[in-house]
Structure 1
Amino acid sequence: MRAVTYAAFGGPEVLHVTADLPIPEPGPGQVRIRVAASVLHPVDLMIRAGQFPAPLPTPPPYTPGWDVAGTIDAAGPSTPHHTIGDTVIGFSHWLRTTVGTHAEYVTLDADGLTAAPHGIPATAAAALPTNGLTARQALDLLDLPAGSTVLITGAAGQVGGFTLALARLAGLRATGLARDTDREFIQSQGARFLPGPDAAPGSFDAVIDLAVLGPSLMDLVRDGGGYVAASPPLRPEPTRAIRTHALEVTPDRERLADLVKLAESGELPLRVAEVHTFADAAAAHDRLARGGVRGAIVITP
């Protein structure tokens, strides 16, 4: 099979399309997916550049990619929720397995997959699993009652957009911090727009810091509120009875199925910025690295 691979860390030029990889076989509890679309994430760029701060479970070569939208074409034993021919979405927990989805086929645990949204192209559906679940799990960590105020930094990004929408649906009063050019999108999600972290101390019941502005944002949280950092190393120590959490997205079939229903109804914005083929993977990495992307960078075979 064909896949995007790299054998050494470096810039986008280390990426290649390898054409003679073996087609993977599903084990117990796994299915094989013929990939229609996957998505490029900032963490893919960090790992490729050799800048990820933690050890990886296997050495290179690597195939990058987390999200997948595609069709099941083989199944191992003990996969009761799926059959061959089902169209599904899900994601590979790459940091634990280094199983990448920028390939023609990928084998994944079946219990992390759910039916793809009806009437939505695979290129858009692939934008949902990792970022949508990250947003859902961030709000789950905070467990805020309706009417609570929450500040979301990086609110115009992929995770931020989903978080704004889910906050609105939960009855929260969200404020989105982003560039001024993102004002219209932030407000379209029912949130108040904030161009910078200039707010009075204790203004919010909680903060979700997707833009990694840092623990200084704790000052904006009321005593006894909540704070979610973008990753475990960035989680600040609790203070003033503020509960601090860190994002570490995990597969969740039931939560993902709920997100699919919201996408089908139009409640969740599935934004696609660009679509690139395997052969254009280096260009996709370069585009994401330049920043300012509003929507998913999608990779197709």
Structure 2
Amino acid sequence: MKAIVIREYGGPEVVEYTEVPDPKVGPDSVLVRVRAAGVNPVDWQVREGRLDGMLDVRFPLVMGWDLAGEVQAVGGAVTEFAPGDEVIGLVRRDSVEHGTYAELVAAPVRTLARKPAALDWAQAGGLPLAGLTAYQALRALDPAEGETLLVHAAAGGVGSLAVQLAVARGARVIGTAGERNHAWLRTLGAEPVAHGPGLADRVRALAPDGVHAALDLVGGDAVETSVQLVADPARIASVVDFAVTARGGRYIWARPDAADLAALAGLADRGLLTVPVASTFPLAQAASAQALNAEGRTRGKIVLLVG
């Protein structure tokens, strides 16, 4: 099968589009023919070696964690899926080695859920990691109906999903973004504000008493700004800044969870959640897709189309 492989840490030049052996399917796994794979910041961060101290990375490494595709075969102990089923998954194991930038993936059933019918392949492929990050972060922050949530980097892949999930809960959402994304954020239900110096003052112009909770998806000064605006630091979460824990908040690292994936799929099928797709690339152009993702300026998700 064809896959995207790296054999050492480095820049885009270490990314190979090459032939690798088909994966073996264990008793509690299914073989998925991948139709789409989401591109996430963690992908190029792994490639550059930025997470070497926290992840068990093994070379040669097939990149990627997201997928949407069709079940081709099932392991002997699998009863949850059958050949022909359409699935989505965050296929992350204890070691980083067998990823989803590939034509075929052997995925443990605990990492999968059925694909929402309301989403096309590109949207479905972009949902798992970003969706689980947003979903699990909001579960930690628990914004109630009528409360105000501040989302830093609200126009990105995780941010655009977090906005929709919070709005579905009945929360008021204030989202930071560049000016070009403000009108679009309003269509998702958020009240946009410009990021950068003076952010706390701009948020207080909309919410004079501050906000009830804040989700940091960008790093930098976002946690410190959130501390100025949120009365209870336990209701500040970050997916990028470990220092949030020193301020009493929560660090979020998305976990594969079949039930959470199924809940996201259900929201999509009820019309409460969609996945904005910024760009798609063929699998062979994974390096270009990662380069675009690393710019941090895209609206929604970047997705690889496979096959």
TM normalised by structure 2 equals 0.90
Question: 1:113 Cα deviation (Å)?
Answer: 1.0
Q: Which residue in the other structure is 2:75 paired with?
A: 76
Is 2:142 aligned against 1:143?
yes
Given that 1:3 and 1:104 are in contact with CA atoms closer than 8 Å, whether structure 2 keeps it comes out as yes
The residue that corresponds to 2:301 in the other structure is 296
Report the 3-state secondary structure (helix = DSSP H, G, I; strand = E; otherwise coil) of the residue aligned with 1:88.
strand
Tell me the matched-pair count.
296
Cα pair distance change 1:224/1:298, threshold 3 Å? closer
Aligned positions of 1:181-260 closer than 5 A:
181-196=180-195, 197-199=199-201, 200=204, 203-214=210-221, 215-216=223-224, 217-223=226-232, 226-231=235-240, 233-238=242-247, 244-260=249-265
1:158 is displaced (CA, Å) by: 0.9
Q: SS of the residue aligned with 2:99? A: coil
Give the Cα separation in 2 of the matches to 1:210 and 1:53. 21
Identify which range, 260-269 or 161-170, moves more after superposition: 260-269
Aligned partner of 2:124 in structure 1 is: 125
Return closer, same or farther for 1:223/1:136 CA change in 2, 3 Å cut-off: closer
Match of 1:285 among 290, 302, 306: 290
Partner amino acid, structure 2, of 1:255: D
Pairing of 1:32-47 with structure 2 (within 5 A)? 32-47=31-46
Percent of pairs with identical residues: 33
Structure 2 vs 1, CA of residues 198 and 232 (structure 1 numbering), >3 Å: closer, same or farther?
closer
Quote the residue 1:9 is aligned against.
Answer: 9
How far 1:56 moved relative to its partner? Answer: 3.1
Does the CA-based 8 Å contact 2:4-2:16 persist in structure 1?
A: yes
In 2, Cα distance between the equivalents of 1:206 and 1:26?
Answer: 43
User: Are the equivalent residues in 2 in contact too, given 1:65–1:101 (CA < 8 A)?
Assistant: yes
Alpha-carbon contact 1:202-1:219 (below 8 Å) kept? no
Distance 1:298 1:237, change over 3 A: same
1:262 is matched by which residue type in structure 2? L
- Residue type at the aligned position of 1:230: V
Ranges in structure 2 where 5+ consecutive residues have no aligned partner? none
Kindly provide the amino acid, as one letter, of the partner of residue 146 in structure 2: G
CA distance in 2, matches of 1:202, 1:151: 13
For residues 157-191 of structure 1, give each alpha carbon's deviation from its aligned partner in whole angstroms, at most 9, with x where no partner exists.
Answer: 01101111111110111111111111112211222
Q: 1:68 to 1:223 in 2, by over 3 A?
A: closer
Q: Distance in 1 between matches of 2:7 and 2:233?
A: 48
Q: 1:114 to 1:38 in 2, by over 3 A?
A: same
Residue 154 of structure 1 aligns with which residue? 153
Q: CA deviation at 1:69?
A: 0.5
Which range moves more in the overlay, 44-53 or 126-135? 44-53
The change in CA–CA distance for 1:116 and 1:211 in structure 2 (over 3 A counts) is: same
Q: Secondary structure at the match of 1:108?
A: strand
Deviations 1:139-161 (A, max 9, x none): 10012322111100010001101
Q: What is the CA-CA distance between 1:105 and the residue it aligns to?
A: 0.7
Say if 1:276 and 1:172 are closer, same or farther in 2 by CA, change over 3 A: same
Question: Partners of 1:152 and 1:139 in 2: how far apart?
Answer: 11
